[in-house]
Every structure is written in structure tokens, then in C-alpha cells.
Amino acid sequence: MISTFKNAWKIPSLRKKMLFTLFMLLIYRLGSHITVPYMNAQIVQKLYSSTGQTVFSLLDLMAGGNFSKFTIFAANIYPYITSSIVIQLLTIAIPSLEALSKEGETGRKKIAMYTRYLAIVIAFVQAIGFSFGFFAEAVVATTLLEKSVVVLSIVAGSAFLIWIGEQITEHGIGNGISLLIFAGIIARFPTDIMRSVTLVKAGKASPIFLVIFLLIAILIVVFVVALNEGERRIPVQYAKRVVGRKMYGGQSTHIPVKVLMSGVMPMIFASSIVSIPTTIAWFTKNESTRRTIAKFFTVEGVPGTIFYVVFTVLLIIFFTYFYTAIQFNTVEYSKNLQQNGGFVPGIRAGKSTSDYLQRTVNRLCLPGAIALSILAILPIFLTRISHLPFNYGGTSIIIVVGVVLETTRVLEQQMLMRHYKGFLNK
């Protein structure tokens, strides 16, 4: 991985992309220090601290501390993630959107535009919930204009992050949305580690659990790397063709089918969905209603923990299959193989090949989804046992490792393309 980054840095065009990505991430971190106007920061911290280890902790971790500080990036990139989920589901359900998605670049641009518009609407709703629901006591705005500034600051922050994410994807290296979440998690690592050490020094947690956590963190990294790199290679044979006096085809190759083709996206999607009950709680000022939602729909209470665990597992499994189906269309792959004279040995071309590929993908998806689910819910149990903040021990490490591997893979692909271009120009 390190050698890949070193080699990429030597190529001027890739170095420019890497610097652009770093510059965009720097702007994001600078914006994380701009607090929302007309908000009492001390009361915000007090209200956030009173929530304990809820879904807010995970959201704040992946937002780089923007939620607990209530900066202009408090809603972070989550409105866009939620919007992407909704639009992708609607693309399957609504024929006109499905047809639009198949129109090539023009269709994709229109769908991206709809996603952005819906993300702004969701950000607006969340901003009202944040400001005048959960953090209502911290609002010092009195006039309608001042209250509007509070809401619009958060909406503008999310819109700006969406723009930064798209710019990174288009002009930088890797997936912009994933890199923004990655930057937020990395920014919180030192603070959370120091907090764990402080708890151990104060005698509120056992040092044995801290050592166990470090070992678990290393094992998680190794396991995630193996999970991301694991693949099944389906052999493909191309038939021989005679064109004029030359013979083409006849070579053997393979289709690499990843165990975790969807990457970290199912975990990001699932974390956005499970936060919806808490979002609803932000809109109510009734303390009794809030406590009921916290008890049954967050990890504060035993019923809520069961709901959170079961729902998170189901969502991760669903989005793993869903995202894989979007990325790897077995019907289209089978058609392309047939048109180019390729076939899987022992499998008939056409529908039989498509069914075979689908069965293979399904068998690989299930263990990958279960592994992701276990790693996602592991911090909940470790936190309850050790009383240490283990949020950064499961989901966040998976996202960090996944994004690093994905970015490394993108760099390798771009370097390979440039080597081919250089070879063809000679």
C-alpha cells in the first residue's frame, strides 16, 4: 500500500489529484471548527454528554465530532447517504427512474441531481430536528431571521460537504463521500484513545480491557483486509475464431468475484437507517416520549439494544445483497460473455451462465454480510462489558480500513491505465 502511494506520487497527474484530495479534506476539517450561530456551546456540550452511549456516539464519531460541537457540519454527509438509499430503492420500484439509469451519462447526471435535491430536503428536516428538538435549550435565537440562520447554516454545511465529496470523486482520488467519513473518524481517534487511557488511570475501567481492545483492533484490521481481498475466481474460456488468415480467442481467463464486493457501504447505509428513530425523537419536546424512544430504539435500554442489534444485522445483510446486485449485474455480464465468445466451462451460455453467476455471488455475499454484521455489533457488547468507548473498535475501523484499501485500489488502476497509455504511445 505504501509503495503504491509512493509510486503514484511520482506521477505528476496523480500527484495533482492526491494534493487536490488532501486540500478538500483540509477544508472540511477547517469548517469543522465553525460553530452554528446563535447556539450556546456550553449547553450543547452538556446536552450531548447527557445522552450517554447512544446512536449519537457513533454518528458523532463518523462526523468527526461535528455533532457534539454543533458546527455547520453537524448533519455531516448523512442527508446525502440517506437520499442515495431512497433514490436507489426508487430506481428499482419506478420504471421511469430505472429507464433513466440506463440512459448512460445523461441519465446518471439527472439521477445525481435528484439525489442532491432530496439530500437538501432531508438536511433541512434534520437541521430543524437538531436545532429546535434535541438542542432546543441551547438556542439563543429569538427572531424568525435568527432561527432561520441556525437552520440554514446546517443545511449549507451539508450542501457544501456534498459538493466537496463530488469534487473529490471527480477530480481527486477515491470515493469522496467515503473519504469524508474516513477523515472524520481519523480526526476523532486521538481524542477517543486518550479518553480511554484517562478512564483507566482514573480507575473507572480495567487496563486489561484496554490491552484486550488493542489486540481486538489489530485482529479486526487483519480480518477486514482478508475480507476485502478475498475473492472467488470463476474460470472463463474464449472460443477460437478464424478471421481471414488469423486465429483469435482460445485463451483462458477468470472473473474475480469479491467476497465483499459492496465494501463498507452497507455499514454506512445501515448506520443512517438505525438513526431514524432517534431523529424522530429530536422533534418532540416531551421528555417521556424521548425516554420511551431511547429505551426501545437505541442502545440505552435492553429492549433498544436488542432492536438495534437485530435491525442493524438485517440492514447490513440487505444492503450487502442490494449494493452487490447494483454493481455486478449477472444478466448483463452473461450477455457480454456470450457476445464475445466467452463461456464458463461446463455451463451453457446465456441464462444458465447468468444463474450460475448469481448463485456464486449469493453464496459469497452471505458470509461477507454476516462478518460485517458481527464486526458492527461487537463494539456494543464490548462497551457494556469494559465501560470503555469501543465505538472506534468495530464499525469505524472497518470503514477506515475499507476506504484505505479502496483508495489504494483506485490508485493502482489509474497507474495501470497510464502504463498502458505510455506503452501504446511508444
pLDDT at 294: 67
pLDDT at 25: 92
Whole-model pTM: value is: 0.75
pLDDT at 22: 92
Q: In which residue ranges of the chain is pLDDT below 50?
A: 53, 421-426
pLDDT at 421: 47
The CATH architecture to which 2-425 belongs is: Orthogonal Bundle (1.10)
pLDDT at 56: 64
Q: Residue-wise over 406-426: b if at least 16 C-beta within 10 A, else e?
A: bbbbbbeebbeeeeeeeeeee
